[in-house]
Structure 1
Amino acid sequence: MKLLFTANRFPYPPYRGDKLKIYHLAKRLAKRHELHLVTFLQDKKDLRYLPELQQIFTEIHLVPLPRMASYCNSLMALFRREPFQVRYFSSAAMQKQIETLQAQHRYDAVHVQHLRMAQYWAGIKEVPRILDLPDAYSLYWKRRVAAKKGIMKWFTQTEQQRVFAYEQVLEDYDLSLVCSREDQAYLREERGISNVQLLPNGVDLATFSQQAHDYTHAKHILFTGNMDYAPNVDAVGYFVRDIFPLIREQVPGVRFIIAGQRPVKKVLELAGPDIEVTGFVKDLSAMYRKASIVVAPLRFGAGTQNKVLEAMAMGVPVVSRNIGFNGLDISSGEGVILALETEVFAGACIRLLGSEQLRRDTGEQGRAVIRSRFDWDVVAATLEGYFRQVQRH
């Protein structure tokens, strides 16, 4: 097949989020298909990574989108109805580039990444199109409203209402994909959008290897993620303020490590004698190897969490709230222990830190789940099946 990927961000380096997913899916599909890429270029420094992407994509088309233009787009959204994030990625040049590519090539199918990019292919019916979403975006914003106050609550409510209305664009696509059954059920049952299937997030098992984890150490609690991402910022603040003191009372010498790029001031201020904020970490697998447990105390968000999948792949036991757990379609204890309340969350961490056997049993169950369902090879094969499905329609 000849496939076009339409991405909202330059998909390299593949450390987190949008970039990671596109890179790993395309890397595997390129072995059997001809892939083209069209994406925005917001930072000219990314051009140094072109050779990496040229190993995957036969053609790469970059559309400049200066950040100042995006900020102006967002400002103009005050006078329009589209979500601010959709307006942020609005570009006449991108629309023109897509029309040019459509005229030049006979694509078997098009992969459109994120609700932000849905604006470019929604009205083009001549080619099969798949809209790939990280989560049910209106569900994410609905949960975020509850965590905000003051002027930020007003903005969050406004964006949630706009996303809620705009999300109907999913029905303009041949197929829409989300990464968890929770998101799929929400879109089908609460939104009445029927053309939604599952494409889980994955893990690169070449990076997050299957070597045996060392379960003898019991003093390191790890949290990973982009530390300018609102759900992560809220999660570590909540953990340090409400949960970690309860653990410290029962586990002397315990340390909490916050590992992730672009930590904002709120996160940096959490650092202390037993709390480390690392900033960017090139090799996260090394951090997981040192971890006794991983925590995911996210109070809002949607979809599945890479931090949870990566820890499971490394055999590290995880304690999680429902965000980061519900999307996995597993039972509590299969790599991840579900804990919804503050005291329950702390208690689960204390039990794991106090028992090498419990850490081993939980971690090894998680490793088995990842091998069978969340390896990027398995996920890419699922996406390949969806491409063939939309071609037949």
Structure 2
Amino acid sequence: MGDILFLSHRIPFPPDRGDKIRSHHVLKALAGLAPVHVATFTDDAQDYRSEPELAAIAASYCLVRRRKPLVLAGIEALATGQPLSLAAFHDHRLKRYIADVVTHHDISVIYVFSGQMAQYVPAAFHGRVVADLVDVDSAKFEAYAEKREGVRRWIERRESRLLKAEEARIARTSDLTLLVSEAEAALLRSRLDPGVPTNPICGMGNGMDSAHFAPAHVAPEPRMLEKGSPRLIFTGQMDYLPNVQAALRAIERIMPRVRESFPNASLHVVGRNAPPALKAYSGRNGIEVWGRVDDIRPWLAGADIALVPLAIARGVQNKVLEAMAMRLPVVLSPEAATGIEARDGWHFLTAPSDEALADAVIALAGDPPRAKVMATAARSWIVANASWEMALAQLPTYLGFNSGLSDAA
């Protein structure tokens, strides 16, 4: 087999957020199979700190700072009739690098990570194309639109409609389309025109490095231990709309009810780029918004319960897997549990409403032995069922590096 070209919308280092965790482990697995050439973007100057790690694993790479203002991307999207998501990630430097790699190297597979990057697959490329969409983004923007009004609703509906068409194009033109779970794969299939044939679509789940995310290896964050208990935690990229909405839900509607039973309870929102709407709550009524941290594990180790009240959730939530691996009892919405085949009521506790989520937190906080049993069962499930080795076991087959592709897909 020849080399692999890996296209990713963000540099897969460090693996400190959901999409980068998946792309990081996929890239490592690809590099174990063949030389890999990487075309990717940085979001900020801090991302360049990881360039040596990228250089160490890649046969060659192109790392481009994504600086295009959102307004300019919007103008381009309107002028070309394409989704804003694609315009925002369009860059001529990356396109030239990809053309050069395909011309001068024996590329047998292009692995597309995230739908924004499928626009870079050269039309004349005759090798195998595997598109890892991770989530069905068109469905996500459709859900956003339902919660918007006016111009923002029009923008979200337009993005959903155009991304749906792009997802259909990717499914037709890629040899294989991957999603983060079989449920997400089924959702994509359901949104395609049944009269138009596509190539195989299947799920490839996320894993968890349970040796790294192990409570025995880290001490609890001291600043967190200074706050009242029970200590609840919500983690994630805090400029991501579903995370912002979930954090506000926890702050405004769940925590007041929890504090009626536990007046000293605290909620810790941990993740980079928290907007002013979240920061405004920090230091009041048991709420602490900590921002970006170098290592999430001490913060998880300092918590008593992970609270994940996502209303919009696509694919598998790494924040849930991480909390389970760190032996934390997790209270979550049904949406946040999607794609995690653990047992509700034993490995975690789902609840459908604000009141039910608060009551679940209160019940676990008031029954430490039950919370400990659930947390122990959660970690045991992660160790037994959610390794990256298991998640990516079929990757060589998906790439066509061994036989049996049609059966696997």
Q: Provide TM-score, normalisation by structure 1.
A: 0.91
Shift of 1:362: 1.7
Q: Which residue of 2 aligns with 1:38?
A: 39
Q: Which residue of 1 aligns with 2:173?
A: 172
More off after superposition, 229-238 vs 19-28: 19-28
Alpha-carbon distance change, 297 to 377 in structure 1, aligned in 2, over 3 angstroms? same
Q: Look up the SS of the partner of 2:41 in the other structure.
A: strand
Aligned pairs, number: 391
Shift of 1:124: 4.4
Structure scoring higher RCO (CA < 8 A, sep ≥ 6) equals: 1
Alpha-carbon distance change, 9 to 332 in structure 1, aligned in 2, over 3 angstroms? same
Unpaired segments ≥5 residues, structure 1: none
Correspondences of 1:203-352 after superposition (within 5 Å) = 203-209=208-214, 211=216, 219-271=230-282, 272-352=284-364
Q: Look up the SS of the partner of 1:300 in the other structure.
A: coil
Unpaired segments ≥5 residues, structure 2: 220-227
Ranges of 4+ aligned residues in structure 1 off by more than 4 Å: 41-45, 389-393
How large is the Cα RMSD of the aligned pairs?
Answer: 2.5
Correspondences of 1:83-162 after superposition (within 5 Å) = 83-121=83-121, 123-162=123-162
Q: Look up the SS of the partner of 1:294 in the other structure.
A: strand
Shift of 1:352: 1.1
Report the Cα distance in structure 1 between the residues aligned to 2:191 and 2:66, rounded to whole angstroms.
35
Deviation by residue 1:77-133 (Cα, 9 ceiling, x = unmatched):
123322101111122332332221111111232210111011112734511111112
Maintained 8 Å contact 2:129/2:175: yes
Alpha-carbon distance change, 245 to 41 in structure 1, aligned in 2, over 3 angstroms? closer
Report the Cα distance in structure 2 between the residues aligned to 1:139 and 1:55, rounded to whole angstroms.
37
Shift of 1:145: 1.7
Report the Cα distance in structure 2 between the residues aligned to 1:44 and 1:222, rounded to whole angstroms.
28
Q: Which residue of 1 aligns with 2:222?
A: none
Maintained 8 Å contact 1:122/1:173: no
Deviation by residue 1:249-281 (Cα, 9 ceiling, x = unmatched):
112311111011111101101221411000111
Shift of 1:4: 1.8
Shift of 1:347: 1.2
For residue 196 of structure 1, the aligned residue among 201, 215, 237 is 201
Q: Which amino acid aligns with 2:297?
A: S
Maintained 8 Å contact 2:112/2:118: yes
Q: Look up the SS of the partner of 1:39 in the other structure.
A: strand
Shift of 1:194: 5.9
Q: Percent identity?
A: 29
Report the Cα distance in structure 2 between the residues aligned to 1:262 and 1:212, rounded to whole angstroms.
27
Q: Does 1:357 align with 2:358?
A: no
Q: Which amino acid aligns with 1:162?
A: L
Q: Look up the SS of the partner of 1:67 in the other structure.
A: coil
Q: Look up the SS of the partner of 1:211 in the other structure.
A: helix
Report the Cα distance in structure 2 between the residues aligned to 1:243 and 1:231, rounded to whole angstroms.
16
